[in-house]
Chain A
Amino acid sequence: MGVIDLDGLEVRLANRTVLNNLTGELQGQAIGLLGPNGAGKSTLINTLLGFHLPSKGKARVFGLDTHKDRAQIRGGIGYMPENDSFIGNMSGVRFVRYMAELAGLPPGVALERAHEALFYVGLGEVRYRKVNTYSLGMKQLVKLAQALAHGPRLLILDEPTNGLDPVARQRMIQLIKDIRKEGSIRLLISSHLLRDIDETCDEVLILKNGRIASLCNIEEERRSNRSFVELETVGATERFSVSIRGLGCECATFPGGRIKLVIPDNIEARDLYVIASEQGVQIRRMNQRRDSLEDIFLRAMDNDQGRTANGSL
């Protein structure tokens, strides 16, 4: 059983198909949800929270149907919405306590956990201030605190770094990493920023026009992709490139002794040095580059057919 199971999920809003035949099983500890504006990220999150009734298919969270068992699902989810969403004339601690009580914590425990959650996210010193006096970064953090206070099994973060300055963003990313490391919470993070997903997630679901453009384990994807290497050489470059083609590498030579090559999994960088040594070629510089999430994302966006070949679903 995955964290989130999508089984031919279709959601129509105002006679428009917003999510179209989504099928897949999300199992990662931290799942990134990527896609351009209007791809259906927020609709998918709202469907998982039980706000939208699927017109076809099903979505399940921890094996529970998002429509029939929505109360049970919501009890186990911490949700941090994208936009400002709080009760401004309440103090931070009262707001977080209120949300924790709504999630099912007894009043005394909710108060204790509210204090803890606010200290955890770094708002301990300002917890008695009214939420509407908080800065944008503090408001993001208080939303995170309320999502964490009741100890959810799944934490849904919708654009958690939206509007944050670099320092606050780094702090938010670090908090997400810490939560992931703690291990008891699964994360679903929706973001426009590839870097945020790259730093925090191990699995990524890319949506495009309401369809799954790609669903992959980021690490596996990187490993399975071929490695791109750029060399700067001095000496008999042409002969050297012929020799490394003989190893099974694809390569292209450029003026100034520059060579770009793709090395298969069974070839190590050392093999290149051995051939270079044999042929009296100096390797002055070697840059090894693996696929970034950006490459995965752009490839998914280029694929007009929707799912990439990697979608194992």
Chain B
Amino acid sequence: MAVYKRNYTAYQGAVTPVWSRVLVLARYAFDEAWSSKITVGLFIFCLLPCILSLLAIYVANNPMARALIGGRGQEALAINASFFLKVLHTQSWLALAMASWIAPRLITFDLADNALPILLSHPISRFGYVFGKFIALFGSLSLITWFPCLLLFADQAYSSSQPWAMSNLQIAIGLFLGSVIWIAFLSILGLALSSWVKWRVVATGVIFAAVFVPAGVGAIFSAVLRTKWGLLLNVPVMMSDLWQRLLGIPESIDERLSLPTLAIAVTLSLACLVCVGMLNKRIRAREVVRG
């Protein structure tokens, strides 16, 4: 049917597989996330530390530059697990800022415009809907976390005059796993909180608060009960512990205050389950027009 002929004709062509509809949601969500100039500006800002790290790797591997900066400078520019831990720390906290900006854009528009009855009347489930949004957010955060981190690792492996990559493979694995765990947690947390907050700006604040307020509560809990388990509410400390272990770096805090890896994993899993429950409850309530 040509557009100028205002007649309706049925569609007879092929349809895409049902599983691929999730990717349609992800693609449109990705477009939505990146249609904002603030997102692009934030992305560029998030890559600045990576560019500085790239410069540091260049300087550390350039004999002339090393000679110029002298002995103490050379120690400071050692490219090792600690260097990559700093990079991972920086990128991960920038990812929090990015997630708190993007996540509300992905879900609050749909909820504010009551789009779920129309969206979910198509062959897509609640899980598919959330998974599509999750892919978009996870993908966006990947661009500023594990992807540039692994590029830096590859650059160091290429630039180093010594065989470096194989003997430091744990760093690459740690960078990847540490980033993936963190951005998966951020993505699910961001979507769950955004689904319950009507205003985008407030949702952004709530995501930050959800990470930092429990840390204060945990500190009070630990101080009052003289226990280390309050740290399980302290996401920054918990993640820092986890990243150090994944990169194979000796822990910087008192061993008595150190949390078992299993406890960290269980806490993060429980937090994710709570978020999934929140999302399910919210979306289930909004998927139909009540009449």
Contact = CB atoms under 8 A, between A and B. Distances in A.
A binds B: yes
Interface of A: 37, 41-43, 46, 49, 51-52, 71-72, 74-75, 77, 79, 81-89, 98-99, 101-106, 109, 113, 115-116, 119-120, 122, 124, 132, 143, 146, 148, 150-151, 158, 178-179, 182, 184-185
Contact of A109 (B13, B24, B287, B290): B13
Interface residues of B, number: 41
A101 B22 CA distance: 10
B290 A84 contact: no
Contacts of A103: 15, 122-123
Interface in B20-75: 21, 24-25, 28
A75 B24 CA distance: 15
A180 to B, nearest CB: 10
Nearest to A97: B28
Interface string B179-201: 00000000000000000000000
A148 B8 CA distance: 9
Nearest to A149: B11
A270 B274 CA distance: 78
Given A86-B118, A105-B13, A185-B8, 5 more contacts: A71-B18, A79-B118, A81-B117, A104-B18, A179-B8
Contacts of B237: none
Given A104-B21, A116-B1, A119-B4, A88 B113 contact: yes
Contacts of A146: 118
A158 to B, nearest CB: 7
B115 interface: yes
B131 interface: no
Given A89-B109, A98-B24, A120 B6 contact: yes
Contacts of A89: 109
A178 B9 CA distance: 11
B269 interface: no
Contacts of A79: 117-118, 121
A116 B3 CA distance: 5
Interface in B247-291: 287-291
Contact of A84 (B114, B121, B124): B114
A169 B25 CA distance: 33
Contacts of A83: 114, 117, 289
Nearest to A185: B10
A99 B11 contact: no
Interface in B94-117: 109-110, 112-117
Task: Identify the 3 closest CB pairs spanning chains A and B, nearest first.
Answer: A151-B11, A42-B291, A104-B15
Given A98-B24, A104-B123, A85 B117 contact: yes
A82 B289 contact: yes
Contacts of A49: 121
Interface of B: 1-4, 6-16, 18, 21, 24-25, 28, 109-110, 112-125, 287-291
Given A102-B25, A102-B123, A119-B3, A85 B10 contact: no
Contact of B288 (A51, A115, A120): A51
A113 B3 contact: no
A99 B116 CA distance: 12
Contacts of A132: 113
Given A104-B123, A119-B6, A85 B113 contact: yes
Nearest to A74: B123
22 contacts: A74-B124, A75-B122, A79-B117, A81-B289, A83-B114, A83-B117, A85-B115, A86-B113, A86-B115, A87-B113, A88-B113, A98-B24, A99-B119, A104-B15, A104-B21, A105-B16, A116-B3, A143-B118, A151-B10, A151-B12, A179-B8, A182-B7
A88 B109 contact: yes
B251 to A, nearest CB: 47
Contact of B3 (A98, A115, A178): A115
B113 A84 contact: yes
Nearest to B24: A101
Contacts of A85: 113-118, 289
B15 A74 contact: no
A119 B245 CA distance: 60
Contact of B11 (A77, A113, A115): A113
A268 B7 CA distance: 42
A98 B10 contact: no
A102 B119 contact: yes
A46 B14 CA distance: 27
A124 B6 CA distance: 10
Contacts of B113: 84-88, 132
Contacts of A179: 8
Contacts of A101: 16, 21, 24
Nearest to B13: A109
Contacts of B289: 42, 46, 81-83, 85, 158
B111 to A, nearest CB: 11
Given A75-B15, A83-B289, A99 B7 contact: no
Nearest to A179: B8
Contacts of A81: 117-118, 121, 289
Nearest to B20: A104
Nearest to A80: B118
A158 B289 CA distance: 10
B3 A43 contact: no
Q: Which of B8, B117, B122, B123 is the most central at the interface, judged by chain A CB atoms within 10 Å of its CB?
A: B122
